[in-house]
Structure 1
Amino acid sequence: MPELTINKDSLVTIRVRMSDLQGNLLEETPEEGVAYLHGHADIFPKIEAALEGLKKGDKASVRLEPEDAFGEFDPDAVFVTDVEKLGDPETIVPGLVFDHVPGEANDGRHYRVTDVADGKAVLDANHPLAGWGLAFDITVLNVEDTDGKEAVGMDDTVVPSFLGFADKIIDEGDDEDDASEESPEPVTRH
């Protein structure tokens, strides 16, 4: 039986090392790798294209410019606000994530606290790697033919956020655009 190659609906297990363009390791998957369903936009398109047609044991190196990864840094996505607007000042620390900026329309993005000083907090909706060029070294650990059957019930939570779309925020809930003056609830801490 010929070895399976990666194509649409292949269940692929890969091991990945992500570095900056100076070669500094930023993230890596566990030795056993992570699985994703190929052809379903779960990972960056250029990485997916580089893996197309590969088989178990093959390796690929992919370089992504900022526009192909987490985008350019957008200075308009950074806000400074009074710490009190976010809640108890003692609990507002870098890494805390909120679902909107107080007093602004909810734009569906999450804002990470990047700095707290002198009663002010800096909120940043940019991905932490926005503006970075990235290098990915990938080893294909396994390829399974699914005929699309495994697509039902799979989601991108098996794919680490540094591979692409797992961390992109899509707000399918409240479509309300009204500005909120209430203190937002923290979403998570990174």
Structure 2
Amino acid sequence: MKKSEKTKGREKVAARRQQYKLAGIVAVVAIIVICAAVYLVFYSPGVVAAAGDTVSVTYTGMFENKTIFDSNVNGTPLTFTIGSGTMISGFDAAVRGMRVNEEKVVNIPADQGYVYNPGLVQTVPRSMFQTNQTISPGEQFSFQSSVDGRTRVVTVLSVNSTGVTVDANSPLAGQNLIFDIKIDSIQKASTGSNATATATS
């Protein structure tokens, strides 16, 4: 006995509904997977910065009165290896435990910032400057070290006929500082894997 056209039509409709249902389930699963992948890439909840990791950060540095003295926002991120000694201790400690795309404001006391070193105050011969050059206290000059080749900025403290007393300490030395820090990327030391994020406004 042949099925009626009506029965056949109902079976086709039911089959289409089943197909749509399966397609819907597949689409939902795909969306969940994509969202999870995006979350892991942009927020990397399981990746935290630790000693030996190389991080890239965006920062704004301020004095206690909130006057900005330096910032790389909208510029090139600062990249360094945690624990390598290239950063002031307070900044180095602040990024430990942070995650990609995480942002925080930290107060760094003077003893964890640019520590003032009296040994960096020296009197150099007047002959190191041009003969007719006018030198006044407060002026800054750049000198290339004969020891390590690095260029350092020194501030003139006093001047007399034979010598010039200069201070090679950072102008930030001895000051309490505030940094607004955001982690842009973390490269783990142990695996070499990267956790990257694009800064969002």
TM bracket, shorter-chain basis:
0.5 to 0.7
1:90 aligns with 132
Question: Residues 64-83 of structure 1: matches in 2 within 5 Å?
Answer: 64-72=108-116, 74=118, 77-79=120-122, 83=126
Query: Do residues 129 (structure 1) and 172 (structure 2) align?
Result: yes
Query: Do residues 50 (structure 1) and 77 (structure 2) align?
Result: no
Q: CA RMSD in A?
A: 3.4
SS of residue in 2 equivalent to 1:90: coil
TM-score, scaled to structure 2: 0.56
SS of residue in 2 equivalent to 1:54: coil
Contact 2:54–2:187 under 8 Å retained in 1? yes
Deviates more, 1:119-128 or 1:90-99: 90-99
SS of residue in 1 equivalent to 2:57: strand
Q: What is the distance in 1 between the residues matched to 2:153 and 2:101?
A: 39
Q: What is the distance in 2 between the residues matched to 1:58 and 1:52?
A: 11
Contact 1:73–1:131 under 8 Å retained in 2? no
Structure richer in helix, relative to its length: 2
* 1:113-169 CA distance string (max 9 Å, x none): 42676756331132222221111110111122242769xxxxxxxxxxxxxxxxxxx
Question: Residues 4-153 of structure 1: matches in 2 within 5 Å?
Answer: 4-31=47-74, 32-72=76-116, 74=118, 77-79=120-122, 83=126, 85-91=127-133, 94-98=139-143, 112-114=154-156, 119=161, 121-147=164-190
Q: Look up the equivalent residue of 2:87 and give its one-letter code.
A: I
Q: What is the distance in 1 between the residues matched to 2:78 and 2:144?
A: 28
Q: What is the distance in 1 between the residues matched to 2:72 and 2:66?
A: 17
Q: Give the % identical residues.
A: 14
Q: What is the distance in 2 between the residues matched to 1:47 and 1:111?
A: 22
Q: Look up the equivalent residue of 1:62 and give its one-letter code.
A: V
SS of residue in 2 equivalent to 1:12: strand
SS of residue in 2 equivalent to 1:89: coil
Q: What is the distance in 2 between the residues matched to 1:35 and 1:5?
A: 16
TM-score, scaled to structure 1: 0.58
SS of residue in 1 equivalent to 2:51: coil
SS of residue in 2 equivalent to 1:48: helix
